[in-house]
Amino acid sequence: GENVEQHPSTLSVQEGDSAVIKCTYSDSASNYFPWYKQELGKRPQLIIDIRSNVGEKKDQRIAVTLNKTAKHFSLHITETQPEDSAVYFCAASPYTDKLIFGTGTRLQVFP
Protein backbone atom coordinates (compact mmCIF):
# COMPACT_ATOMS: atom_id res chain seq x y z
CA GLY A 1 0.00 0.00 0.00
CA GLU A 2 0.90 3.67 -0.12
CA ASN A 3 3.54 4.96 2.29
CA VAL A 4 4.31 8.64 2.80
CA GLU A 5 7.51 9.84 4.43
CA GLN A 6 7.89 13.43 5.62
CA HIS A 7 10.98 15.44 6.59
CA PRO A 8 12.04 17.18 8.70
CA SER A 9 10.10 16.31 11.84
CA THR A 10 10.85 19.73 13.33
CA LEU A 11 11.84 22.98 11.66
CA SER A 12 12.75 26.27 13.29
CA VAL A 13 13.11 29.44 11.26
CA GLN A 14 13.42 33.15 11.87
CA GLU A 15 10.47 35.33 10.95
CA GLY A 16 10.76 36.37 7.33
CA ASP A 17 12.81 33.35 6.30
CA SER A 18 11.54 30.56 4.05
CA ALA A 19 10.55 27.07 5.17
CA VAL A 20 10.57 23.91 3.07
CA ILE A 21 9.00 20.58 4.01
CA LYS A 22 9.50 17.52 1.84
CA CYS A 23 7.50 14.34 1.34
CA THR A 24 8.01 11.19 -0.67
CA TYR A 25 5.38 8.64 -1.62
CA SER A 26 5.62 5.06 -2.79
CA ASP A 27 2.53 4.37 -4.94
CA SER A 28 2.83 5.73 -8.48
CA ALA A 29 -0.97 5.55 -8.75
CA SER A 30 -1.36 8.40 -6.25
CA ASN A 31 -2.75 11.45 -8.01
CA TYR A 32 -3.75 13.96 -5.32
CA PHE A 33 -1.42 15.56 -2.78
CA PRO A 34 -2.83 17.94 -0.17
CA TRP A 35 -1.06 19.76 2.63
CA TYR A 36 -2.70 20.37 5.99
CA LYS A 37 -1.91 22.75 8.83
CA GLN A 38 -2.90 21.66 12.31
CA GLU A 39 -2.76 23.87 15.36
CA LEU A 40 -2.69 22.31 18.82
CA GLY A 41 -5.98 20.63 19.66
CA LYS A 42 -7.63 21.66 16.40
CA ARG A 43 -8.67 19.93 13.19
CA PRO A 44 -6.35 19.67 10.18
CA GLN A 45 -7.00 22.55 7.79
CA LEU A 46 -6.26 22.23 4.08
CA ILE A 47 -3.82 24.95 3.02
CA ILE A 48 -2.93 23.90 -0.52
CA ASP A 49 -3.19 20.86 -2.76
CA ILE A 50 -1.86 19.67 -6.09
CA ARG A 51 -2.95 17.04 -8.59
CA SER A 52 -0.66 14.83 -10.60
CA ASN A 53 -1.22 16.68 -13.87
CA VAL A 54 0.39 19.82 -12.45
CA GLY A 55 4.02 20.41 -11.44
CA GLU A 56 3.63 23.48 -9.27
CA LYS A 57 0.91 25.49 -7.59
CA LYS A 58 1.16 28.74 -5.68
CA ASP A 59 -1.18 30.61 -3.34
CA GLN A 60 0.27 33.85 -1.97
CA ARG A 61 3.14 32.84 0.37
CA ILE A 62 2.57 29.11 -0.03
CA ALA A 63 3.63 26.91 -2.93
CA VAL A 64 3.73 23.20 -3.59
CA THR A 65 5.88 21.40 -6.15
CA LEU A 66 5.43 17.86 -7.41
CA ASN A 67 7.96 15.59 -9.10
CA LYS A 68 6.06 12.52 -10.29
CA THR A 69 9.14 10.79 -11.64
CA ALA A 70 10.93 10.96 -8.31
CA LYS A 71 7.68 10.58 -6.38
CA HIS A 72 8.21 13.52 -4.10
CA PHE A 73 6.46 16.77 -3.37
CA SER A 74 7.36 19.77 -1.27
CA LEU A 75 5.72 22.64 0.58
CA HIS A 76 7.37 26.04 0.42
CA ILE A 77 6.40 28.88 2.74
CA THR A 78 8.01 32.24 2.07
CA GLU A 79 8.21 35.27 4.36
CA THR A 80 7.26 33.17 7.37
CA GLN A 81 5.28 34.75 10.18
CA PRO A 82 4.80 33.63 13.82
CA GLU A 83 1.22 32.60 13.00
CA ASP A 84 2.63 30.03 10.56
CA SER A 85 3.82 28.05 13.61
CA ALA A 86 1.92 24.74 13.64
CA VAL A 87 2.25 21.10 12.62
CA TYR A 88 2.10 20.53 8.88
CA PHE A 89 1.05 17.22 7.32
CA CYS A 90 1.43 16.08 3.75
CA ALA A 91 -0.81 13.39 2.33
CA ALA A 92 -1.24 11.30 -0.79
CA SER A 93 -4.37 9.77 -2.27
CA PRO A 94 -3.67 6.47 -4.06
CA TYR A 95 -7.25 5.49 -4.93
CA THR A 96 -10.79 5.48 -3.53
CA ASP A 97 -10.01 9.05 -2.35
CA LYS A 98 -8.62 8.02 1.02
CA LEU A 99 -5.64 10.01 2.29
CA ILE A 100 -2.39 8.53 3.55
CA PHE A 101 -0.69 11.05 5.81
CA GLY A 102 2.94 11.74 6.54
CA THR A 103 4.24 11.88 10.09
CA GLY A 104 4.09 15.66 10.37
CA THR A 105 6.53 18.58 10.68
CA ARG A 106 6.44 20.91 13.65
CA LEU A 107 7.27 24.38 12.32
CA GLN A 108 8.32 27.08 14.75
CA VAL A 109 8.74 30.64 13.51
CA PHE A 110 10.65 32.86 15.92
CA PRO A 111 10.03 36.63 15.90
Partner 1 sequence: EAEVAQSPRYKITEKSQAVAFWCDPISGHATLYWYRQILGQGPELLVQFQDESVVDDSQLPKDRFSAERLKGVDSTLKIQPAELGDSAMYLCASSLGTDGYTFGSGTRLTVV
* Residues at the interface with partner 1 (CB under 8 A): 6, 32, 34, 41-46, 49, 89, 91, 93, 96-104
Q: How far apart are CA 87 and CA 77, in angstroms?
A: 13
List, in order, residues 6 or more apart from 32 with CB less than 8 Å away. 49, 50, 51, 52, 92, 93, 97
The nearer residue to partner 1, 32 or 78, going by C-beta atoms, is 32
The nearer residue to partner 1, 72 or 78, going by C-beta atoms, is 72
CB of 30 to partner 1, least distance (A): 11
The nearer residue to partner 1, 69 or 96, going by C-beta atoms, is 96
Q: How far apart are CA 40 and CA 17, in angstroms?
A: 23
CB of 69 to partner 1, least distance (A): 22
